[in-house]
């Protein structure tokens, strides 16, 4: 979704801004722009489409200045056009702003400003902010803090969400930034300061990061920064050290980030497990839950909330925790939970899962649960993200940066953490030592098993080629393979635009079977031995309706080539870990189908990496 980069320092800003925008591309956007400030003049450049066209245009433009802001826009208010792209200038040209988020009361503010002679160039809610700030600036009497104060005053009238980076024509070498429910961080350099909505935009310049909290506003100069609240109260500044290198966010020779991240899974799984086993290797342990064993034993129910692929990871967690820890689990879409006012038992523990840690609905679900007095824990990948900071405790996935819009390594790491959680909660209840040891052993072997499935990439590519021309596909699986069927369908539709649905295999007979024909192949996730015959029966049902069948099955299982058109064998593993291993083929399948269809795999249409609007 929208991205922000800003710079104040002693270097030419334009290259830093463009480089930052390239790094933000993966978040999804439809237009981009930059503004620099030099000799009390703004130089503004905006383009529809890729950052590349902005870079080409910048080569021919005069973009002098050691101060600047840049933006990638994902349209909410107003069509995709150059005029609606950021940065926006205020009516008299005093301010230039970039804004992430939505100003909910923009119409009333606009009327207020129109009545006072302001006019507007764009259809966006963001432009009104530039004008509202200018309005307050013209009235501000505190000449020393005029810029900061006018932003503070303007923001008092704003309802909605914002991450803002603002320049003032009359205040060279200064930038004001502010945040409310839209991520923003400051990068501290030597004689230079950066601001960004995502750390990847500035990671090559500094590893000293300060995350802004909601309601905070900061003033940046090349030498320093200060943070206050909108009411000018002082704020304790917490600096963090970035724990990954910029090389981690490069493609390293892979054609797409998605492919690279699929292949990083053995390492990501190792990272998710590192240091998290007990000395007797019979259970897991977590440093950040901030709950005693006694408190955990008192949990009667767990509620998981998330969006998209992270929501699917919650469904896997439900199967695993119910099976191995015997605790009832419910799963809710975060966007539904936040407005639903569900009755929850007193001893309910609320977990949210979010790769980015910034998904707005997930954040809101977390806040709603907290408001009602429930203990909230989070499984997140991004250290220092809003969700990580706002939850009462949690578990970091340590997957490294995930750049491809389609979540891959973050998903399997989330399931891995969920499996370890099931083990941990099981062992403090009634799972035996022996079961625990076998579970830990299986987790230990998991990266190797995943490596073996990845080695089948060429044969999966061939299968994908056979099916890439279809318009529809069903993904079917039972029990903990049902979520993997959902994930297979989600991956395929989001990157290849092939219509696909995931269903519990038996549920298929209650409606979707009407779609089944030679034109609608079925992808079965069927590695479980205990319910093999049930899956085979479902396979026969679709085959007798002329559907082609692809199946993921355990090596040596009865589900051989005589039942299916294309077989993807996976190694036998502990049943708790089958969802992870079975995910690899559906990821590779979706990737290659998208490639054969000529799709823009890392930047699928209309999608954003981190969804920071409702």
Q: CB 41 → ligand M6R: shortest distance, Å?
A: 39
Alpha-carbon distance 4 to 70, whole Å?
A: 6
Q: Which of 166, 383, 582, 611 binds ligand M6R (CB under 6 A)?
A: 611
Q: Out of 110, 149, 603, 609, which one is annotated catalytic?
A: 609
| Interface positions, 489-508, toward ligand M6R (CB under 6 A) | 494
Decide if 609 is catalytic.
yes
Tokens of 361: 């609905």
Choose which of 265, 356, 399, 578 interacts with ligand M6R (CB under 6 A).
356
3-state secondary structure of 550: strand
Pairing of strands 216-220, 175-180: antiparallel
Distance from the Cα of residue 502 to its chain's centroid: 21
DSSP helix/strand/coil, 551: strand
Query: Please, what is the minimum distance in Å from the beta carbon of residue 362 to ligand M6R?
Result: 5
- In whole angstroms, the minimum distance from the beta carbon of 477 to ligand M6R comes to 18
Q: Name 112's Cβ contacts closer than 8 Å, sequence gap at least 6.
A: none
Strands 162-168 and 95-100: antiparallel
578 binds ligand M6R per the rule CB under 6 A: no
Q: CB-wise, 202 or 365, nearer to ligand M6R?
A: 365
CB 424 within 8 A of CB 435: no
Task: Please tell me the number of Cα atoms within 13 Å of 397 on its side-chain side.
Answer: 33
Interface with ligand M6R, residue 307, by CB under 6 A: yes
Q: Give the one residue of 335, 348, 362, 528 binding ligand M6R; rule: CB under 6 A.
A: 362
Q: Which is nearer to ligand M6R, 136 or 409 (CB)?
A: 409
Q: Supply the minimum distance, in Å, between the C-beta of residue 255 and ligand M6R.
A: 18
Q: Among the options 2, 168, 307, 520, which is catalytic?
A: 2
User: Residue 344: is it exposed, middle or buried by C-beta count within 10 angstroms (0-12/13-18/19+)?
Assistant: middle
Annotate 9-23 with b (16+ C-beta within 10 A) or e (fewer). Answer: beebbbebbbbbbbb
Instruction: Specify whether the CB–CB gap between 478 and 531 falls below 8 A.
Output: yes
Whether omega for the bond prior to residue 265 falls within 30 degrees of 0, making it cis, is: no
Of the pair 362, 583, the CB lying nearest ligand M6R is at 362
Nearer Cβ to ligand M6R (25/134): 25
Options 72-80, 317-325, 401-409, 595-603: segment touching ligand M6R (CB under 6 A): 401-409
What is the nearest approach in angstroms of ligand M6R to the Cβ of residue 387?
8
Of the two residues 125 and 487, which places its CB atom closer to ligand M6R in the complex? 487
Pick the piece of the chain touching ligand M6R (CB under 6 A) from 141-149, 153-161, 193-201, 354-362: 354-362
Please give the residues from 580 up to 609 whose contact with ligand M6R meets the rule CB under 6 A: 607
Tokens of 59: 């080569």
Half-sphere exposure of 187 (CA within 13 A, CB side): 25
Angle at 104 between CA 217 and CA 352, to 5 degrees: 70
Tokens of 84: 């609606």
567, 551 in Cβ contact below 8 A?
A: yes
Smaller CB separation from ligand M6R, 354 or 535: 354
CB neighbour burial string for 574-613, b if at least 16 within 10 angstroms, e if fewer? bbbbbbbbbbbbbbbbbbbbbbbeebebbbbeebbbbbbb
Binding to ligand M6R in span 117-146, by CB under 6 A: none
Q: Shortest Cβ distance from residue 406 to ligand M6R (Å)?
A: 4
* Minimal CB distance residue for ligand M6R: 308
Q: What is the spatial distance between Cα 411 and Cα 355, in angstroms, rounded to a whole number?
A: 8
Closest CA to 610 of 300, 403, 424: 403
C-beta closer to ligand M6R: residue 45 or 314: 314
C-alpha to C-alpha distance for 198 and 213, rounded to whole angstroms: 14
> Min. distance of Cβ 1 from ligand M6R in angstroms?
10
Instruction: Name 350's bridge partners.
Output: 303, 376
| Phi, psi (degrees; rounded to nearest 5) at 386 | -60, -45
- Report the residue from 96, 283, 355, 399 that binds ligand M6R according to the rule CB under 6 A: 355
Give the count of beta carbons closer than 10 Å to the beta carbon of residue 252: 11
Question: Closer CB to ligand M6R, residue 399 or residue 554?
Answer: 399
Whole-angstrom distance, CA of residue 562 vs CA of residue 566: 10
Q: How far is the CB of 378 from ligand M6R (least distance, A)?
A: 10
Confirm or reject binding of residue 310 to ligand M6R (CB under 6 A).
yes
Say which residues have a Cβ less than 8 Å from residue 455's Cβ, sequence separation at least 6.
Answer: none
Smallest gap from Cβ 520 to ligand M6R, in A, equals 23
Within 13 A of 465's CA, how many CA atoms are on the CB side? Answer: 6
* Binding window for ligand M6R (CB under 6 A); candidates: 98-106, 114-122, 303-311, 419-427: 303-311
- Considering only residues 10 through 69, tell me which ones interact with ligand M6R, judged by CB under 6 A: none
Secondary element (H or E) of residue 601: none
Binding flag, residue 354, ligand M6R (CB under 6 A): yes
Distance, in Å, from the CA atom of 529 to the CA atom of 553, rounded to the nearest integer, reads 9
Nearer to ligand M6R, 362 or 412 (CB): 362
Q: Rounded to the nearest whole angstrom, what is the least distance from the CB of residue 143 to ligand M6R in the complex?
A: 43
Pair 309, 407: CB distance under 8 Å: yes
| Strands 522-525 vs 499-504: parallel, antiparallel or unpaired | unpaired
Q: Which of 182, 407, 500, 583 binds ligand M6R (CB under 6 A)?
A: 407
Tell me how many residues contact ligand M6R (CB under 6 A): 16
Q: CA 67 to CA 36: how far, in whole Å? A: 6
| Least distance in angstroms from the C-beta of 354 to ligand M6R | 3
Q: Which stretch binds ligand M6R (CB under 6 A): 216-224, 306-314, 457-465, 534-542?
A: 306-314
Question: Phi-psi region for residue 233, left (φ > 0), alpha (ψ -120 to 50) or beta?
Answer: beta
Return the residue of 72, 96, 98, 309 that touches ligand M6R, per CB under 6 A.
Answer: 309
**Judged by CB, which is closer to ligand M6R: 252, or 606?**
606
Site residues for ligand M6R, window 512-551 (CB under 6 A)? none
Tokens linked to 91? 């009516």
Binding site residues, ligand M6R, CB under 6 A: 307-310, 354-356, 359, 362, 405-407, 494, 607, 610-611
Which residues does the annotation mark as catalytic? 2, 609
């Amino acid at each position: 979704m929208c991205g922000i980069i800003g710079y104040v320092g002693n270097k030419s800003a334009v290259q830093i801004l463009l480089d930052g925008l390239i790094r933000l591309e993966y978040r999804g956007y439809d237009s981009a722009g930059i503004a620099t400030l030099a000799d009390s003049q703004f130089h503004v450049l905006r383009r529809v489409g890729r950052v590349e066209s902005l870079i080409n245009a910048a080569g021919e433009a005069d973009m002098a200045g050691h101060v600047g802001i840049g933006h990638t826009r994902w349209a909410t208010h107003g069509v995709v056009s150059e005029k609606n792209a950021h940065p926006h200038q205020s009516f008299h040209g005093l301010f230039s702003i970039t804004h992430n988020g939505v100003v909910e009361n923009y119409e009333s503010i606009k009327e207020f400003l129109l009545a006072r002679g302001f006019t507007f160039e764009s259809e966006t809610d963001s432009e009104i902010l530039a004008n509202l700030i200018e309005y307050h600036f013209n009235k501000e009497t505190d000449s020393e803090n005029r810029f900061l104060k006018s932003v503070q005053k303007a923001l008092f009238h704003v309802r909605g969400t914002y991450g803002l980076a603002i320049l003032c024509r009359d205040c060279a070498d200064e930038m004001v930034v502010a945040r409310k429910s839209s991520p923003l961080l400051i990068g501290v350099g030597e004689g230079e300061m950066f601001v960004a909505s995502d750390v990847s935009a500035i990671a090559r310049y500094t590893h000293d990061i300060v995350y802004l909290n909601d309601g905070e506003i900061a003033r940046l100069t090349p030498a320093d920064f200060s943070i206050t609240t909108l009411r000018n109260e002082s704020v304790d500044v917490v600096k963090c050290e970035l724990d990954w290198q910029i090389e981690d966010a490069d493609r390293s020779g892979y054609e797409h980030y998605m492919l690279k991240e699929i292949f990083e899974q053995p390492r990501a799984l190792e990272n998710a497990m590192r240091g998290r086993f007990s000395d007797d290797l019979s259970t897991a342990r977590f440093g950040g839950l901030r709950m005693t064993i006694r408190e955990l034993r008192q949990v009667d129910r767990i509620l998981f909330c998330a969006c998209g692929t992270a929501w699917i990871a919650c469904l896997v967690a439900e199967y695993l925790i119910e099976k191995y820890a015997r605790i009832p689990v419910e799963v809710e879409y975060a966007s539904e939970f936040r407005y639903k006012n569900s009755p929850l038992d007193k001893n309910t523990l609320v977990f949210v899962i979010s790769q980015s840690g910034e998904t707005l609905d997930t954040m809101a679900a977390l806040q709603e649960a907290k408001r009602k007095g429930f203990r909230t824990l989070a499984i997140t990948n991004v250290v220092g993200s809003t969700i990580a900071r706002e939850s009462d405790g949690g578990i970091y996935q340590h997957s490294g940066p995930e750049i491809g819009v389609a979540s891959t390594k973050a998903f399997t790491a989330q399931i891995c953490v969920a499996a370890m959680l099931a083990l941990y909660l099981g062992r403090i209840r009634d799972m035996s030592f022996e079961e625990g040891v076998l579970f830990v052993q299986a987790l230990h072997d998991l990266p190797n098993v995943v490596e073996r499935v990845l080695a089948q990439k060429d044969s999966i590519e061939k299968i994908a080629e056979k099916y890439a021309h279809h318009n529809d596909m069903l993904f079917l699986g039972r029990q903990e393979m049902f979520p993997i069927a959902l994930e297979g369908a989600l991956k395929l539709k989001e990157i290849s635009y092939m219509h696909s649905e995931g269903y519990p295999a038996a549920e298929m007979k209650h409606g979707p079977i009407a779609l089944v024909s030679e034109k609608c192949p079925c992808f079965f996730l069927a590695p479980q031995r205990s319910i093999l015959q049930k899956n085979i029966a479902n396979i026969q049902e679709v085959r007798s309706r002329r559907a082609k069948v692809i199946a993921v099955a355990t090596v040596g299982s009865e589900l051989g080539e005589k039942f299916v058109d294309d077989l993807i064998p996976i190694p036998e593993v502990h049943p708790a870990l089958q969802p992870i291993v079975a995910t690899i083929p559906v990821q590779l399948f979706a990737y290659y189908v998208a490639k054969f269809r000529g799709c823009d795999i890392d930047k699928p249409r209309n999608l954003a990496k981190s969804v920071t609007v409702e």
